[in-house]
A and B are shown apart, each in its own frame.
Chain A
Amino acid sequence: MGGRHMVRGTEERVFQIVVAAVLSLCGLAALFPLLYVLSVSLTPFSEVLRNGGFILIPRSITFDAYRKLLTESNVPQAFGVTAFITVVGTLLNLAVTSLMAYPLSRKQLPGRNLFLMLIVFTLLFSGGIIPTYLVVKSLGLLDSVWSMILPNMVWSFNVLIMKSFYETLPEELFESARMDGAKEFRILARIVLPLSVPVTLTIGLFYAVGHWNEFFQAIMYVTDRELFPLQVIVREILIQTQQPLENAENMTPTETLQMASVILASLPIIVVYPFLQKHFTKGMLLGSVKG
């Protein structure tokens, strides 16, 4: 970090140029298709067709598709639902996941390997949709927002990741804390979590994106349209062009509308990311927590 004062300037400069060049290529590779999605969402569809279907820079801009989505559909309502399950769900996820990951990261936990194996096992094996539906039903969760949060409260994958990050924390920290008489909860809250901001945010992001993209549980457990999250609506729009004509009077959504729905449905979660990024790069100085 901050190696400005370094003497070997040329080598550093060459290195930086190479890095920047490769990154630019990657960025461009990602940018072009996205630009296409954005441009199509802003261009009247007949214009898109006239251009043979490919547009990178829109020549005539229309916000019709967005207006239509925001006023004539359930999108605003669904946005609320999605925001709720994302925020509440992620907070719950993080709480439970770190509570699990911390003890599992301690080698002295009795039966640790068994627990870990049991967790890995659920990554591979599952009971299938019927028994899971029966559980959700018997808990009285059908047709409630919680049916989109609780059944996926902990992802095995995320527990394992978090646990492996916690493992890298030096054991001495915990020993000295215990010596000072700190309880395990206190150690988790005061030592482990502050030292693990990058991974907590990363796992939080994984969960949040998972919730944001949630549609399967909604479709399975929710029949009340008022509770449908955003992705169910987007899926409804996207899927219509994939299926054979169901009914003559059905209005097929144009590609402009499809792309607009994609943009609307992913932009909010995308803009969260840049805000998280700076926390990833902060190298955690062990000394900083001691004070």
Chain B
Amino acid sequence: MLLPGALYFIVFRYFPMYGVVIAFKDYSFNDGILGSYWADPWNKHFLTFIHSPYFGQLLTNTLLISVYKLLFGMLPPILMALLLNECRIRWFKSLVQTLTYMPHFLSWVIIYGIVLALLSQNSGLVNHWIEEAGGQSIPFLTSTTYFRSLLVSSEIWQNLGWGAIIYLAAMAGIDPTLYEAARVDGASRLRMIWHITLPGIRSVIVMLLILRLGHMLDAGFEQIYIMYNIQVYPVADILDTWVFRTGLQQLNFSLASAVGLFKAAIGLVLVLVSNRIAKRWGEGIW
């Protein structure tokens, strides 16, 4: 049974894995990945980014944005799923479910366009209202004060309905007899959510959390790359955007690979540790 999948993983995932060595080499097209010379010193490409004057800032920004997105972004889809699950009006549930699912299909370019229409300082709707009400317009896009909130909230918005899908599927798998029994015992809605629904989706939550931790240093390249500008770099520039800009100047295989390896190694540690912790509660991926 495992064979087709295993074959896939070997051919398309593990076989190309030798490519990671270019993080330690000076890549040459003619010699290929394996034939290229080792970088001197071996960690040259790692030093390139560790020695960047911006390294500290990049790492802080990456971690902060990622942690914020995790902290504030994890819960809303779960709540959304709970609410949808409790909603008894079929058509309404379906409508909201579909509506909140749609933003997932808007690319960040489009979302940024919408953000501009709402928040732009001279023509945005929100600033228009603020000014009508006699207030001062707020530089949402160019001020370091608001930018991270903007990143986090626009991602939550985009992901609300999409993220809820998986929890809804998990809720659908909960044995209905549990609810029947609770109802007979006279349990309230909230109690049933707390004692039946949430435990029923606990393993999914834990697993998503562990996998999310593995991507701790991915703060959302595409979103930030499209939304940031020079005035918010101090709070918005992350490892990936830096690699991208640096790569524009030179062929960046080795540098990109080194940064990727760095990110993945930290992710791996986080996954291993969190999986071990989860196991104590009888959860975890393996």
Task: List A residues at the B interface (Cβ < 8 Å).
Answer: 1, 3, 6, 8, 11-12, 15-16, 19-20, 22-24, 26-27, 29-31, 33-34, 36-37, 52-54, 95-97, 99-100, 102-104, 112-113, 115-128, 130-132, 134-135, 139, 150-151, 153-154, 157, 159-161, 164-165, 167-168, 184-185, 188, 196, 198-199, 201-202, 205, 209, 213, 238-239, 242, 255, 258-259, 262, 266, 269-270, 273-274, 277-286
Neighbouring B residues of A102 by C-beta, 8 Å:
1
Residues of A within 8 A of B211 (CB): 120, 123, 157, 160
Residues A124 and B214 in contact, CB atoms below 8 Å apart = yes
Let me know if B248 is at the binding interface, CB within 8 A: no
User: Which chain A residue shows the least CB distance to B112?
Assistant: A242
Within 8 A of A (CB), among B168-186: 168-170, 172-176, 179, 183
Q: Tell whether, in the assembled complex, residue A150 and residue B12 are in contact, meaning their CB atoms are under 8 Å apart.
A: yes
Q: Are A283 and B172 in contact (CB under 8 A)?
A: yes
Interface residues on B, range: 35 or more
Q: Are B165 and A99 in contact (CB under 8 A)?
A: no
Per the bound structure, the CA–CA distance linking A209 and B159 in Å amounts to 14
Is B172 within 8 A of A284, CB to CB?
A: yes
Residues B10-53 near A (CB distance < 8 A): 11-20, 22, 33
CB of A27 within 8 A of CB of B189, answer: no
Q: List, in ascending order, chain A residues with CB within 8 A of B271's CB.
A: 120, 124
Q: Report how far A29 CA is from B96 CA in the complex, Å.
A: 10
Interface of A, secondary structure class, is helix
* Assembly CA distance A130 to B17 (angstroms): 10
Q: Which of B84, B157, B253 contacts A23, CB < 8 Å?
A: B84
Collect the chain B residues with CB atoms within 8 Å of residue A134's CB. 16
Q: Quick check: A277 and B114 within 8 Å, CB to CB?
A: no
Q: Is B203 located at the chain interface by the 8 A CB criterion?
A: yes
Instruction: Output the nearest chain B residue to A16 by Cβ-Cβ distance.
Output: B88
The distance in angstroms between the C-alpha atoms of A99 and B5, with both chains bound, is 8
Nearest chain-B residue to A238 (Cβ)?
A: B109
The reply to whether A20 and B110 contact each other, CB–CB distance below 8 Å, is no
Contact yes or no, A54 B8, CB < 8 A:
no
Indicate if the CB atoms of B169 and A165 lie closer than 8 Å: yes
Instruction: Tell me the bound Cα distance from A273 to B94 in angstroms.
Output: 9
Contacts of A188 in B (CB 8 A): 1
- Interchain CB contact under 8 A, A115 and B2: yes
Q: How far is the CA of A20 from the CA of B110 in the complex (A)?
A: 29
Q: Which B residues touch A274, using CB under 8 A?
A: 94, 97-98
Ranked nearest first, the 10 interchain pairs of A and B with the lowest CB-CB distance are: A127-B16, A127-B19, A131-B16, A100-B5, A266-B105, A131-B19, A198-B172, A116-B286, A202-B169, A283-B176
Let me know if B12 and A151 touch, CB within 8 A: yes
Central interface residue in A23, A96, A139, A202, by most chain B CB within 10 Å: A23
> Which of B13, B14, B174, B285 has the largest count of A CB atoms less than 10 A from its CB?
B13
**Cβ 8 A contact of B165, one of A139, A202, A239, A284:** A202
Q: Please give, as numbers and ranges, the residues of chain A lying within 8 Å of B89 by CB-CB distance.
A: 16, 20
Closest A residue to B186 by beta carbon equals A8
